[in-house]
Structure 1
């Protein structure tokens, strides 16, 4: 099985310092939805792993998060794409949970659900914590320069084996060529 794990905000959709708090604020990065559809066409399982601390902070509720994800899924369907699953951590940064990236808990849940070792699995993110979570489970780190990616690229803690791409569309073009 070919599996890829994507962060949401800053990879699939535009990010916001104030969080994405409503379906209206969720706007796809140009080419990202089509890239996911291309992965589907090439036989990849596509899973989203996203920190959503806005829930834990009380900025929005689970109903709103579900509505945002519903918009993402419907938008993907309009271009012939789909997600195999969405995993999220709803906890605030100070909650001490195991599922908030950079901890590997979300990715371990994905491994368990799909009954697959994550060695070499592409983990695509725009922040250091996305890449660190991926490395913790043996994944291959891919940094996109959308979202927080430009800033992350300058971080001295950036893992040496990180592959850097302008956006998700170019990651997918490389993986499917």
Structure 2
């Protein structure tokens, strides 16, 4: 593949300093993710998949932290950003998190709400991260559902009162 990866991770290490010693949750991972391609991270429970994703978003819980490596994110028309060097609470990562890079958590407290429709939650997140109106947000939600293979996304959202 000739194009630069959208996300390039090199030598990533995430460690937790605990009373019992040092826990190496992610230990020297290298990964490239290219635009328009699917990348699957597969492993046993506790192997570091979620910690890798949390590292990319800079949401590793204390006492954990990224101790080495780089996470280079390339946005079209902008300079590459090493996410690993960003302040986890800073404006730069908050502009990326949820808008350009997001994670659907498997933990019940961080998952999509079963009380609200997926479409409603998508539209809400789009409105939060983009300066567009509700109609445009609904169009983006329809497009997103279509891209992941949900049949008749417009009709499904309309049944829930979310699309015209």
Provide TM-score, normalisation by structure 1.
Answer: 0.31
Higher share of residues assigned helix: 1
Please identify the structure whose Cα radius of gyration is greater. 2
- Higher strand residue share: 2
What is the TM-score when the length of structure 2 is the normalising length? 0.33
Q: Which has the higher contact order (CA 8 A, sep 6+)?
A: 1
